[in-house]
Structure 1
């Protein structure tokens, strides 16, 4: 998820778009973990941001499936 993306922008995404964004963030999370393990990670705060973004997207996707988000 880009830093400029807002919650209102995410809520209008389709389920497939949300799943694709989650997949992209999980790939980034894997790369960040790999960099941290090899000592190459410079921005350690990014790990936390990505983890929270994944949780945020999963929450929106669950709400979309339950019909809470219109």
Structure 2
């Protein structure tokens, strides 16, 4: 699991790549949850929150750049 500090240290490209990977994982988990039982249903929530954290950091960076 990636912490907030680790996410903030990433570059914009790394953040975008991590967000894309998390979105793909979330898609697979949702598909799997509809077709069969998940081993760890909490993974869906973890991925959703990871995506939200990444989007928050990205928007903070955009707002910080706009105020400079």
What TM-score results when the alignment is normalised by the length of structure 2?
0.86
* Paired position in structure 1 for 2:26: 29
The Cα shift of 1:28 comes to 0.1
Q: Where do 4+ consecutive residues of structure 1 move more than 4 Å?
A: none
Query: How many pairs were matched up?
Result: 65
| Correspondent of 2:54 among 46, 49, 57 | 57
Stretches of structure 1 that go unaligned for 5 or more consecutive residues are: none
1:14 aligns with 2:21: no
For structure 2, list consecutive stretches of 5 or more residues without a partner in the other structure: none
Hey, what's the Cα distance between the residues in 1 that align with 2:38 and 2:5? 31
TM-score, L = length of structure 1: 0.83
Distance 1:55 1:14 in 2: 17
Q: Which residue of 2 aligns with 1:38?
A: 35
